[in-house]
Structure 1
Amino acid sequence: MRNIQELDAIDRAIIEELSQDGRLSNTELAQRVRLTPAPCLRRVKRLEAEGVITGYHARVDPAAAGRAFEVTVSVEVRVNDQRSVEEFESAIAALEEVVEARRVFGSPDYILRVLVADVGAYERFQTTRLLCLPGVSRTISHQTMKLIKQQW
């Protein structure tokens, strides 16, 4: 995969346009980046093949999907051997409520983004699923009051 600094201005423009609207037709994209359709499509295909463009996704309103309650959870684990870490990470990845999980430096060990229907659903998730995972020693939950910025 190439670094974004290695891309020329047209490749960066293609990436920016597709980041804003992944459903653009090749003709519309070509117009916006000032290319004809054929070379534009070749560039998009190359960016996909090189792993610069990794996919196209629909953004779904969490409230419409019944998951309007967002919580950021800090998780500390008491084990750090490779096998236990891999098992914990696999278990976290399998939880549908967890939409984002990051292992971070220092403390806490992990930061999770959790989407559920409401506070009751979160309480059930935390007590019956998250706290039951092996190695979890502490969690701290932060409810999102207001989303200020979200960039895709």
Structure 2
Amino acid sequence: MAELQLDKTDLAILKLLQSKGKLSNQDLADKVGLSPSPCSRRVKALEESGFITGYATLLSPEHFNLSLAAYVQVCLEKHTPEVIETFEAKVCSYDEVLECCLLTGSDADYQLKVLVKDMNRFREFLLDKLTSLPNIGAVHSCFVLKQVKNHTSIPLP
């Protein structure tokens, strides 16, 4: 498949979909100056070429009593492919973990973003799930006091 070359209309579509993902095709077409059919074809091309990887509805954690966010750094005792694969698969299965990143330039191997109801739930997550995994060398947790910025859009030209 030939690589899609983005033009200003494609970028406008992507910017609008990032900020207002619930726009109807008609509204999107109106905002970028296209008729609905060409707009729909462009969105489909952006999806098929991998520029758009999916759609999501963002929920308010507060409405679900999820008020404790933490960043947890994890050091593994061993770094074999099997240990890494097992750790990553297990961490990805935990609903409390919103993000898991393999790091460089840090004492930690991984950083997790964890969201739970309260400190008791965090303790349960930490003791019953995370530190019970094999090959966990060290864990360091930092708690979010205030979220200054929470943005899901990536910067586009």
Give the TM-score normalised by the residue count of structure 2: 0.91
The 2-side partners of 1:141 and 1:2 are apart by 45
8 Å contact from structure 1 (residues 2, 52) kept in 2: no
AA in 1 matched with 2:114: V
8 Å contact from structure 2 (residues 3, 49) kept in 1: no
The 1-side partners of 2:108 and 2:32 are apart by 43
In structure 1, what is the equivalent of residue 155 of structure 2?
Answer: none
Q: Which runs of 5+ in 1 are unaligned?
A: none
Instruction: Count matched residues.
Output: 151
The 2-side partners of 1:2 and 1:58 are apart by 31
The 2-side partners of 1:2 and 1:50 are apart by 9
- More deviation in 63-72 or 43-52? 63-72
The 2-side partners of 1:151 and 1:53 are apart by 17
Give the TM-score normalised by the residue count of structure 1: 0.94
In structure 1, what is the equivalent of residue 57 of structure 2?
Answer: 58
Matched, 1:71 2:70: yes
Distance 1:68 1:3, change over 3 A: farther
C-alpha RMSD over aligned residues: 1.7
In structure 2, what is the equivalent of residue 96 of structure 1?
Answer: 95
Matched, 1:150 2:150: yes
Alignment of 1:125-136 (within 5 A): 125-136=125-136
- 1:66 CA displacement: 2.6
Structure 1 counterpart SS, 2:132: coil
The 1-side partners of 2:54 and 2:14 are apart by 12
- 1:129 CA displacement: 0.9
- 1:2 CA displacement: 9.0
Structure 2 counterpart SS, 1:10: helix
The 2-side partners of 1:34 and 1:26 are apart by 12
Deviations 1:123-142 (A, max 9, x none): 11111111111111111111
In structure 2, what is the equivalent of residue 108 of structure 1?
Answer: 108
The 2-side partners of 1:12 and 1:104 are apart by 31
The 2-side partners of 1:70 and 1:2 are apart by 42
Runs of 4+ in 1 over 3 A off after TM superposition: 1-4
Structure 1 counterpart SS, 2:64: coil
AA in 2 matched with 1:61: S
In structure 1, what is the equivalent of residue 33 of structure 2?
Answer: 34
The 2-side partners of 1:29 and 1:135 are apart by 50
